Amino acid sequence: MRVVIIGGGAIGTSVAYHLAERGADVVLIERNAVACAASGKSGGFLALDWCDGTPVEALARRSFTLHAELAEELEGDWSYRRMTTYAGTVGYAAARTSRTARLNWVTSEVAIHSQLGSSGTTAQVHPAAFTSGMMRAAGERGAKLLLSRATGLLYRDGRVTGVCLEDGTLKGDAVVIAMGPWSMLAAGWLPLPPVYGLKGHSLVFETGASLPPEALFLEYAEQAGSMLTPEVFPRADGTTYVCGISSESPVPIDPDQVVPDDGAIDRLKALCARMSPILARSKILASQACYRPVTGDGLPLIGAIPHAQGAYVATGHSVWGILNAPATGEAMAELILDGAARTVDLLPFGPARLAALDPARVAISRRLGG
């Protein structure tokens, strides 16, 4: 069985890996480069139980376990490690007097008021390396990577039979839409509910090996009145990732055209200098922005697409796309090859739950491209 996957982010490559592991003939189509979008620019933070009590609980728990197994079994070079995770504030005078933990790499402006996770419940990967690692492992199992832009689908008797590319066509028995926020473009090819893109900005610092595996989720009130929620993740490769400024700027059609909003990077740099003397003096390796894919009800879209036999979707993972990539890939492989997912119940994520092509939602999501 040949499965064609469109999109070389964490989701598409994880689906490719699990299908190839099961012996399917897999071709992954990526228009720019593997991990060129959010999957290369996100935090890569993983949590076992932060989705507990929501429909995503089983997916997240299975994925947290799979991340540990994949890093070991594939001898992954994506800097997987366990973290201790804290919550706190930056610059709140009252909070500074009631801190519960003292970290030696932050300024006195940072007050830690609680521990959110331990090395048993929180971890991280380098997301670009993880995504490339999944593609590499898929390739070692026979999957092929095709750099081209998908422009539509081939149909025969109401069944999807392949993908139209900017430079030809590719036949397949099943097609998986895993285009992140650009999955919205596939709503022109299929009865697919809208997917939106929410923008986030981040900096990557060259901090060296000095920072411990401590992740921070902080709150900060900017003088201009905005509330920011910076996240700080020192990584095993000697870099430190910080994100913290979101916006609703429209998603450009070409992922390579995603650039930071005016002023966002300067605001983030100023915040980093207040948070840590090490960040204040470290070289900045990347100043970047990316879009996380979100759906109308905030849950991922994973499953067979109604009224289009042979078509599947896996996107809309919002802030947990790196965490949930392995279990999504595993469940998609089961769904496509066995007819039903066994490891995780995909029912809450089925595309049929959202009103496909609801005019109001489509109008909002047509913001794609401005």
Ligand X SMILES: Cc1cc2nc3c(=O)[nH]c(=O)nc-3n(C[C@H](O)[C@H](O)[C@H](O)COP(=O)(O)OP(=O)(O)OC[C@H]3O[C@@H](n4cnc5c(N)ncnc54)[C@H](O)[C@@H]3O)c2cc1C
95 versus 308: smaller Cβ distance to ligand X: 308
Rounded Cα–Cα distance for residues 329 and 13 (Å) = 8
Identified binder of ligand X from the candidate list 19, 39, 64, 368, rule CB under 6 A: 39
Please identify, using beta-carbon distances, which residue of 32 and 114 lies nearer to ligand X: 32
In this structure, what token pair is assigned to residue 300?
């991922």
Contacting range for ligand X; rule: CB under 6 A; set: 6-14, 15-23, 112-120, 274-282: 6-14
Considering only the stretches 27-35, 99-107, 112-120, 275-283, report the one whose residues sit in contact with ligand X under the rule CB under 6 A.
27-35
Q: CB-based contacts of 131: which residues, under 8 Å, 6+ apart?
A: 8, 9, 10, 13, 34, 35, 39, 40, 325
260 scored as a contact of ligand X (CB under 6 A): no
Establish if 63 lies at the interface with ligand X (CB under 6 A).
no
Q: How far apart are CA 215 and CA 288, in angstroms?
A: 20
Residue 8, interface with ligand X (CB under 6 A)? Answer: yes
Q: Rank residues 84 and 202 by Cβ distance to ligand X and give the closer one.
A: 202
Query: Is residue 290 a contact residue for ligand X (CB under 6 A)?
Result: yes
Integer CA distances (angstroms), 153 to 28, 189, 223, 303, 336, in order: 14, 6, 50, 17, 18
Residue 320 as a binder of ligand X (CB under 6 A): the answer is yes
How many chain residues interact with ligand X (CB under 6 A)? Answer: 41
Which residues have C-beta within 8 Å of that of residue 195, sequence separation ≥ 6?
Answer: 180, 181, 183, 184, 187, 293, 294, 295, 301, 315, 316, 365
Give whichever of 82 and 96 is closer to ligand X, judged by the CB atom.
Answer: 82
Cβ proximity to ligand X: between 255 and 260 the closer is 255
Interface residue with ligand X among 31, 62, 126, 235 (CB under 6 A) is: 31
Of 73-81, 88-96, 152-160, 289-297, the segment contacting ligand X by CB under 6 A is 289-297
Is 321 a binding residue for ligand X by CB under 6 A? The answer is yes
Q: Is 271 in the site for ligand X (CB under 6 A)?
A: no
Q: How far is the CB of 97 from ligand X (least distance, A)?
A: 30
Residue 245 as a binder of ligand X (CB under 6 A): the answer is no
**Among 135, 160, 279, 319, contact with ligand X (rule: CB under 6 A):** 319
C-beta of 301 vs 341, nearer to ligand X? 301
Question: Which residue number, 100 or 240, has a Cβ lying nearer to ligand X?
Answer: 240
Nearest distance from C-beta of residue 208 to ligand X, angstroms: 22
Kindly tell me which residue out of 128, 243, 332, 344 binds ligand X, with binding defined by CB under 6 A.
Answer: 243
Q: Shortest distance, CB of residue 52 to ligand X, whole angstroms?
A: 15
CB of 176 or CB of 356, closer to ligand X = 176
12 binds ligand X (CB under 6 A): yes
- The C-alpha atoms of residue 132 and residue 339 are separated, in whole angstroms, by 28
Verify binding: residue 43, ligand X, rule CB under 6 A.
yes
By CB under 6 A, what part of segment 180-209 binds ligand X?
A: 180-182, 200, 202
Binding-site member from 106, 134, 153, 323 for ligand X (CB under 6 A): 323
Binding to ligand X (CB under 6 A) within 147-186 occurs at 149-150, 178-182
Interface contacts to ligand X, rule CB under 6 A: 6-12, 29-32, 36-39, 42-45, 149-150, 178-182, 200, 202, 243, 255, 290, 292-293, 315, 317-323
